[in-house]
Amino acid sequence: MPNAFNFAASPFDCLTAEEQALVRAGVDIAYYPEGAAVLEVGQAPEHLFVIIKGHVTQHDGEELLASYGPDDTFDGRALVAGRSSSRFVVAEELVAYQLARATVQELIARNATFGALLFADLGHKLATLAQRAEAHEGQALLLARVDQAWLRPAHWVDAGTDIVSVARLFQQQRTTSVLVTGLAGAADGLGIFTANSLQLAILDGRPLDQLPVGAFASHPVVTVRADATIGDAMALLLRARVHRLVVLDGQGAVLGLLRALDLFGFVANRSHLVALQIEQAQDVDALAQAAGQITELLATLQRGGMRIALMAQLVQQLNARLFERAWAMLAPADLLANSCLFVMGSEGRGEQLLKTDQDNGLLLRDGYAPPADLQTICERFSEVLARFGYPECPGGIMLRNPAWRGSETEWSARVQGWLLRPEGEALMHLAIFLDAHAVAGDARLLAGVRRRMDALAAGGDALMARFARAIDAFGGPAQWWERLLGLGAAAPVNLKKAGIFPIVHGVRSLALARGVAATGTAERIAALTADGMLDAALAQELLQSLHLLMQLRLQAGLHQQQLQRPVTGEVDPARLTSLERDLLKDTLAVVKRFKALLHQRLHLDVA
């Protein structure tokens, strides 16, 4: 057995040193020419194959099911089942390790994780991965840089400033500390005055408007460099027995203050710090800073292994509050009270991670006369969102476009038109609107339009079939398998087209047919399962598949951002691990089964 066996590839990366020795003792190398059949349908396999060089394709009759390349493993399920359900053919001459069946069985008995990753279904594989990732989450956060935490702005006063003026500054700036300059007795002339210092000043008994802040400022100030780790900062706080650190850049300039509560909150749940920053923002500039933190938060949570569903939920909540605060800064009070601002698409479903095109609209109460400068207000809102990092929609689906504003009556008529003619642009607009989620104003206005739409859609079988047929717009899973790890250079795979859209739109179609009010795919799947429209096992696989695709898309997008390239939504197969390719193949198989169900359930082939 050569020492070159790649124990870093899944599922062998979970083996102990003793288990790795078993592999070395039980493996041989085999060669198969192009066109040879490695396994036939019904054949009892004697080995687990691990590809060193070449490609193998998996077939069900004439249909291509999957393809395998270097470091990929096949066919663990056939080995456990005792027979192969597919035909495996060499597409490019093959050199592979053959691991004896008895050795595989012993490894499964010894190592439950190995067995789960080798032959379990998609759900068990993902559960196993989640358990492994959770162990690294806390460590990843502690290794983050100090300037990735939320730094509160530094406010400065001279040592001679009276206490009343400082208290007034506390109230105006919503802060509990100021840095004091010109402090006698401090080597660098710098001190800090906090809410605790204010208590001491009050207890002093002298008139506060005659007391200089320098008399109660603490020194020396405890500082930390911005490039230090969160773990280092936590240790410094405990060692110095202080509640805040002054953060310095590489040249020694003050960047801001890091409070102990904010630091511990960063480790426990960093999202609440961004939420606090949004709540305390006094202007659009401050909101823009908070918006920038959302992407940094995602990158940190992704490195830490947080579940994608929770990340998406956090982002939806933060974005909704960000949009609400921005709208409140721009729109007059009467417009806020008589309208509903809503978001659509992935943002409306709560499935957006990295910032994508704006998809939003405005619904006005019937009988309300909007301000004369409504167009200017809406254009300003679209510009502000663009500044936050949300590009303007190329199709104009946003507030600045009058076609995406209107009264309750106008919106009801608009949606009715889309329902009656669900083709081309109308179909796209209907699909986008179905995911509408209120973020500001009176949400009852949107709910009323939605109820009227559901009443119109009820019982329209032909309409539902036309609407659902969009799941076939981007081809079948086999096409994407060929691109995932095809022969020769693998082309990028668009995860939205390959899997996310068929799942999302298929579930959306069933939800519309059954009058499900939920906008999120997970909530729709739960409602459809409770209604009997979806089998519980398939429902679970659909949700797991969606989350895996979202995870891979986020991973690819963050990498593209790191390289300062446009985020395309495509994944480079060369960057996927063997386990990720295996999981993606499982996911595409789920998509295939779901599309077949939709064709049968909604009669798509005869629509």
Separation of alpha carbons 113 and 136, rounded Å: 17
- Over 90: is that where the pLDDT of 573 sits? no
- Closest alpha carbon to 299 in 311, 288, 291, 316: 311
Please tell me the predicted confidence (pLDDT) of residue 226. 92
3-state SS of the chain: helix, strand, coil percent to 5? 55, 15, 30
Give me 121's structure tokens: 């279904």
Please tell me the predicted confidence (pLDDT) of residue 316. 84
Please tell me the predicted confidence (pLDDT) of residue 278. 86
pLDDT in tens, 100-123: 999 998 998 888 778 777 765 555
Name the band, by pLDDT with cuts 50, 70 and 90, for residue 185: confident
Give me 11's structure tokens: 């599922």
Q: What is the average pLDDT across 176-205?
A: 89
- Over 50: is that where the pLDDT of 490 sits? yes
Q: Output 344-349 pairs: Cβ under 8 A, ≥24 positions apart.
A: 344/397, 344/432, 344/433, 344/435, 344/436, 344/437, 345/432, 345/435, 346/435, 347/316, 347/319, 347/437, 348/435, 348/436, 348/437, 348/519, 349/435, 349/437, 349/504, 349/519, 349/520, 349/521
Tell whether the torsion through CA atoms of 542, 434, 595 and 55 is positive or negative: negative
Please tell me the predicted confidence (pLDDT) of residue 72. 83
pLDDT in tens, 315-330: 888 888 899 999 999 9
Q: Where are the beta strands (DSSP E) in 200-290?
A: 223-225, 244-248, 254-259
Could you give the angle at the alpha carbon of 178 between the alpha carbons of 176 and 181, nearest 5°?
A: 165
- Over 50: is that where the pLDDT of 423 sits? yes
Separation of alpha carbons 196 and 216, rounded Å: 10
Separation of alpha carbons 494 and 500, rounded Å: 9
Q: What is the average pLDDT across 375-397?
A: 93
Q: What is the average pLDDT across 70-85?
A: 83
Give me 276's structure tokens: 């606090």
Q: What is the average pLDDT across 124-141?
A: 53
- Closest alpha carbon to 490 in 68, 89, 71: 68
Please tell me the predicted confidence (pLDDT) of residue 8. 82
Q: Pseudo-torsion of CA 271, 276, 282, 287, nearest 10°? A: 0
Please tell me the predicted confidence (pLDDT) of residue 159. 93
pLDDT in tens, 17-45: 999 999 998 899 999 999 999 999 999 99
Are 246 and 224 spatial neighbours (Cβ–Cβ below 8 Å)? Answer: yes
What domains does the chain contain, in order, with CATH numbers? 12-115 (2.60.120.10), 307-457 (3.30.460.10), 464-606 (1.20.120)
Q: Which is more confident, 263 or 84?
A: 84
Please tell me the predicted confidence (pLDDT) of residue 1. 45
Neighbours of 215 (CB within 10 A): 17
At residue 392, the 3 state secondary structure works out as: coil
Average pLDDT, the chain: 85
